[in-house]
């Protein structure tokens, strides 16, 4: 399970800096948000991190969470979480070919 991937950081950072890439943002649960973006975005190891018609789940390492707290806070603010913070972040990704979209779900615990 790759949890410090440059590819995952790249995608999260790209969405943060280019919100026009977002097709939809849906709060799933109080502690999670689902985002879809165009699959035209070039991502290294795309078939691994965004498998066709499957999901890939990564628990982001504590080092990744600590190092990228400001970036992750941007996504945490999209949730309806009553809790003021989080310790663990899970990132689920996949490729929905028919919609030409990458699916990204961030779950904060």
> What is residue 85's predicted lDDT score, i.e. its pLDDT?
85
Asked whether 54 and 97 are in contact (CB, 8 A), the reply is no
Q: Which of 69, 68, 98, 78 is nearest to 24 (CA)?
A: 78
pTM of the entire predicted model:
0.90
Phi, psi at 25, each rounded to 5°: -130, 125
**Residue 101, beta-bridge partner list:** 38, 96
3-class DSSP assignment, residue 88:
coil
- Please write the tens of the pLDDT for every residue from 49-78: 999 999 999 999 999 999 999 999 999 999
Assess whether pLDDT exceeds 70 at residue 4: no
Mean pLDDT of 5-19: 94
> What is residue 59's predicted lDDT score, i.e. its pLDDT?
93
DSSP one-letter code for 76? H
* Cβ partners under 8 Å of residue 77, min gap 6: none
- The label of the residue with tokens 């498998």 reads 51
> What is residue 83's predicted lDDT score, i.e. its pLDDT?
81
Mean pLDDT of 79-87: 86
Distance CA(65)–CA(33), nearest Å, equals 16
* Cβ partners under 8 Å of residue 54, min gap 6: 94
């Amino acid at each position: 399970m790759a949890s410090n991937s440059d590819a995952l950081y790249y995608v999260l950072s790209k969405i943060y800096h280019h919100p026009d890439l977002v097709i939809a943002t849906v709060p799933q649960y109080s502690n999670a948000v689902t985002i879809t973006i165009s699959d035209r975005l070039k991502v290294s190891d795309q078939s691994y991190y965004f498998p066709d018609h499957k999901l890939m789940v990564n628990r982001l390492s504590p080092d990744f969470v600590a190092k990228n707290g400001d970036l992750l806070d941007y996504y945490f603010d999209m949730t309806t979480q009553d809790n003021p913070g989080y310790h663990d972040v899970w990132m689920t990704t996949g490729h929905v070919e028919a919609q030409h979209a990458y699916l990204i779900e961030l779950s904060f615990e």
